[in-house]
Structure 1
């Protein structure tokens, strides 16, 4: 089962997902899709890690998430934006190949037994991207978010730390 949680930056998505996972399991898995690219981002990742207790197993993978040992587990996958970025770089900014690879991974995860809480940043609620590459990625993320939401049994939108059930 997929549970999809979307919202803006600092909307409380990760914290809400982690609380949900802890209600469902005493030993959930946190799947981090981030690739550390600078010192500032490394500090943000450390803050995220400090938010979780010892009951969490942590797996770090930039893509091919479906190959991780997640069967029959409760897993928080954080986040689609970074996961897509990794695929986008891997496929040399080809949106079609990136989206196809992402959809295949989502389909494979959807075929596993377990509960997968997938977090994503909602797109299109802020400044319009100034560059062609930025607009290309905005489109890609919008399509990817729609795909995950279509596969999800539950979809939640976070606003200022408050969950709004969409599905």
Structure 2
């Protein structure tokens, strides 16, 4: 089996990164003939988030392309066995996944727990990447501001930064989306 492709897309909130990622996934699946898989990590925790999730679901159902959607807010590796080598998987989004993993239990945020959370996320990503032909990961760029004054926010930012660095190192392509414009940070734009 050919090596899988990892594409990492980051940007600010409402920057257009999810729309770009969806277009990229459709482009990739047109080359492979595989299935489009959407790995949604959002949880309807408030009315605004519920509305956003419903809109995304509706958009995928009524769009020109067929998406297989997995609603998996934690332990994303559980879906790996359902994937095939020519599939394209779009994970949206890493920051929500990290939040879900951190708050899915009442654990104290000590280094052991944080390492477990990071390892769980990376294991899930790697498990999916090993099975699918292409994995596209969307994340928010929350590290542009100095995170001070709140230990929990600082710890979250530090952990997200570590995961971002790992993914950028492993990725074949990296994009930063600003105001709807994807900027190539690594790899060819293709």
Superposition TM-score, scaled by structure 2 size: 0.80
- State the 1:117 CA deviation: 0.6
The alignment's C-alpha RMSD in Å is 1.8
The residue number in structure 2 matching 1:39 is 47
- State the 1:166 CA deviation: 1.2
* Residues matched between the structures, number: 167
Uncovered stretches (5+) of structure 2, i.e. residues with no partner:
none
Q: After the TM superposition, which parts of structure 1 deviate over 6 Å for at least 4 consecutive aligned residues?
A: none
2:71 is equivalent to residue 71 of structure 1:
no
The residue number in structure 1 matching 2:178 is 159
Find the residue that maps to 2:136 and give its secondary structure: strand
The residue number in structure 2 matching 1:56 is 67
1:94-150 deviation digits (Å, cap 9, x = unpaired): 322211222222222332241011101112124635421111111111111111111
Check conservation: 1:110, 1:151, Cα contact below 8 A: no
The residue number in structure 1 matching 2:116 is 97
Larger radius of gyration: 2
Find the residue that maps to 2:117 and give its secondary structure: helix
Determine the C-alpha separation between the residues in 2 that align with 1:6 and 1:127: 18
- State the 1:70 CA deviation: 2.4
Check conservation: 1:8, 1:158, Cα contact below 8 A: yes
Determine the C-alpha separation between the residues in 1 that align with 2:169 and 2:124: 14
2:160 is equivalent to residue 141 of structure 1:
yes
Superposition TM-score, scaled by structure 1 size: 0.90
1:40-72 deviation digits (Å, cap 9, x = unpaired): 110111222233325111111112322212232
